[in-house]
Structure 1
Amino acid sequence: MDVLADVLATTGFTGALLAQLHSNGSQWGCDLDKGGIAGFHLIADGACWLQTENMAPIQLVSGDVVLLPRGTPHQLLGSPGAETRPYSDIEAENPPGRTGVVDMGGDGPPVRVVCGKFQYATSTDRHPVLSALPEVVHVPGMAADPQLQSVVRFLAAEATNSLPGSRAVATRLTEVLFILTVRNWLERVGDADSGPSWLTALRDPDIGAALSLMHEQPQEDWTVESLARTVAMSRPTFARRFKSTVGASPLAYLSRVRLEQAARQLRDTNDALGIIARNVGYASEYAFSRAFTRELGVPPSRYRRTANVDA
């Protein structure tokens, strides 16, 4: 099973376009604080700078993609040291309207930045993919793989297209953009730079295979021994390597997989709690309800009612 695809599907992960920033100069800057909402910037034309409280400004040029997985407050600048204003003030003065373009003004080389956000319906506050990424993921356009650059160009074009369905196409492409950017990051990041997580553990063929089994067959009565046996490792070696690469024990990770998949079924189906419990590997509805309530803070039935109201 494709573990990354399963996690994104299980957590209801989707992308959305927000606006496009357009300027014809370098003396502009805006403060962006989306209250912890994960987002991205795609540099469609020109160049600008990105800065956060904890990092020096980095230059972004046409074709670059930047993910902000935790919605870190940041600034986009026409040039380092440019005066900044809250984005909300700029948008109020220059409403995007049907075009979705927020005009920053200026008189100089054109700059166009496509901005978007990511949403999810996960049952926990921390999304399993977003929380495994650094605060800022910058993929330089010139260093990106051809597939990613094709999506970058396609999304940049559709974002300004007035043809029927262009907005829907661009919205779908935001999710493709996210996956390809994460994949590119995984190829470039070193273990020392990322720390243990299930996401970086996908690069380990043996541990990745064990993760795939858990996601594909959460209902199985997995033990550390049986998981180790499926990837042809001894129990002590498997347990030690799993913990060091994933950052959690095999059974703790399995429990999270089961509860996330259960949460998805509670949101998306009308199946009885007993059926969902068996689907994700619990011997009884009681055991499932206890585990769900302990980890998520609410009983499954209440979670289902709340999810349906929010939807």
Structure 2
Amino acid sequence: MDVLGEVLAATGFKGVLLAQLRARGSGWGCGLERLGTAGFHLIAEGTCWLRVAEQPPRQLVSGDVALLPQGEPHHLAGSPEQAAVPYAELEAAHPVGRDGILDLGGHGPVARIVCGKFDYDHDASQHPVLSALPAVIHVPGMSADPELQGIIRLLALESTRERPGSRAVAARLTDVLFVQVIRAWLDTADTDPQSAPQSWLTALRDPRIGAALSLMHEAPQRPWTVESLARDVAMSRPAFARQFKQLVGVSPLAYLSRVRITLASRLLRDTNRLVSDIGEAVGYTSEFTFSRAFAREHGLPPGRYRREALAQPAGT
């Protein structure tokens, strides 16, 4: 079971290419407000500096990717100390061209930055993947594995093409880019455990706890207990419960509840099935139990959640 892929699919996760910045020299700065969604910057050419509150400036060079999972406010600039102008003001002064590039002008070496975001059905603080990640993930292009380097090069190329379907290709590549960046981040857990705090994502690396996570995602409707999960991964109940909580950060049954409610949310949004049928499909024995668990997670009952989701305009 591909747990990461299942979670991303269940939350309607998809990449969106926004625009590109092109600037010359070091006398430029672009300020971006909180996105309300995860965002990323891929340095297609040249260098720039990324500044996020309470963190030292980071130099980004060609081939690097910076992912901001919670969409923190940040600055991109030609030098660490350069003042930043809000993006909206820059866009008003330098309208985006037909090629999708916001050209800031200037003199000197060129920096080109591909900017995108990820849409999904939760806010970043609640998303089961994004909430498990640090505020900034910086993947240096030179240290990335060949697969990620290939995605970076192809995305940088497709973002400048004006061939039919280029933007659609670039958007799909952003989905792949996200997964590859997460893989690269997880690999840092071997050398720097502090960069990868406890979460279900890092727990995927553990053979037995990762197997238990896969079982819950593969068959959330089963009447799982701590005992049955421990038995299926060949562990004693106490050892399994202790190790699961240590690695994932919550108990096995608390995690199972999240899996069920995330799946139920997708079924409520994307199907016409009865609320009672959806509750049964994800493992609840009664509509009352399902509604209570759903409201505990989302703050509103399933029927109201469906009505509000359907009332939202497409693409929001």
| Of 193, 196, 204, the match for 1:194 | 196
Partner of 2:168: 168
5 Å-filtered alignment, 1:117-196, equals: 117-122=117-122, 126-189=126-189, 190-196=192-198
Q: Helix, strand or coil: the match of 1:79?
A: coil
Partners of 1:78 and 1:192 in 2: CA distance: 30
| Count of residue pairs brought into register by the alignment | 311
Partners of 2:208 and 2:139 in 1: CA distance: 28
Q: Deviations over 1:245-282 (max 9, x none)?
A: 00000000000100110011000111111211111001
Q: Helix, strand or coil: the match of 2:41?
A: strand
Deviation of the 1:35 alpha carbon:
3.8
Q: Helix, strand or coil: the match of 1:104?
A: strand
Partner of 1:271: 273
Q: Helix, strand or coil: the match of 1:67?
A: strand
Q: Helix, strand or coil: the match of 1:96?
A: coil
Are the aligned partners of 1:3 and 1:212 in contact in 2 as well (CA < 8 Å)?
Answer: yes
Partner of 1:104: 104
Deviation of the 1:125 alpha carbon:
5.1
Partners of 2:28 and 2:221 in 1: CA distance: 55
Partners of 2:58 and 2:260 in 1: CA distance: 40
Are the aligned partners of 2:70 and 2:130 in contact in 1 as well (CA < 8 Å)?
Answer: yes
Partner of 1:11: 11
Partners of 2:84 and 2:2 in 1: CA distance: 42
Q: Deviations over 1:114-163 (max 9, x none)?
A: 00011101388511111111000000000001111101010111101000
Tell me which amino acid in the other structure corresponds to 1:210: A
Partner of 1:87: 87
Partners of 2:88 and 2:126 in 1: CA distance: 26
Are the aligned partners of 1:123 and 1:296 in contact in 2 as well (CA < 8 Å)?
Answer: no
Partners of 1:123 and 1:131 in 2: CA distance: 9
Deviation of the 1:84 alpha carbon:
1.8
Are the aligned partners of 2:46 and 2:62 in contact in 1 as well (CA < 8 Å)?
Answer: yes
The percentage of counterpart residues that share the same residue type is 62
Tell me which amino acid in the other structure corresponds to 1:188: T
Partner of 2:21: 21
Partner of 1:305: 307
Q: Are residue 234 (structure 1) and residue 236 (structure 2) matched?
A: yes
Q: Helix, strand or coil: the match of 1:99?
A: coil
Q: Helix, strand or coil: the match of 1:208?
A: helix
Partners of 2:67 and 2:245 in 1: CA distance: 27
Are the aligned partners of 1:42 and 1:66 in contact in 2 as well (CA < 8 Å)?
Answer: yes
Partner of 2:254: 252
Q: Deviations over 1:30-62 (max 9, x none)?
A: 111134321000000011111111111111110
Tell me which amino acid in the other structure corresponds to 1:293: A
TM-score, scaled to structure 2? 0.96
Are the aligned partners of 1:11 and 1:123 in contact in 2 as well (CA < 8 Å)?
Answer: no
Partners of 1:124 and 1:304 in 2: CA distance: 20
Q: Helix, strand or coil: the match of 1:27?
A: coil
Are the aligned partners of 1:122 and 1:260 in contact in 2 as well (CA < 8 Å)?
Answer: no
Q: Helix, strand or coil: the match of 2:296?
A: helix
Partners of 2:228 and 2:81 in 1: CA distance: 58
Query: Over aligned residues, Cα RMSD in angstroms?
Result: 1.2
Are the aligned partners of 2:15 and 2:174 in contact in 1 as well (CA < 8 Å)?
Answer: yes
Partners of 1:158 and 1:20 in 2: CA distance: 12
Deviation of the 1:27 alpha carbon:
1.1
Q: Deviations over 1:88-119 (max 9, x none)?
A: 10011111132110111111111100000111
Q: Which consecutive segments of 4 or more residues in structure 1 shift more than 4 A?
A: none
TM-score, scaled to structure 1? 0.97
Partners of 2:275 and 2:82 in 1: CA distance: 56
Partner of 2:218: 216
Tell me which amino acid in the other structure corresponds to 1:100: G
Q: Helix, strand or coil: the match of 1:156?
A: helix
Q: Deviations over 1:1-33 (max 9, x none)?
A: 110001000011111011100012111111111
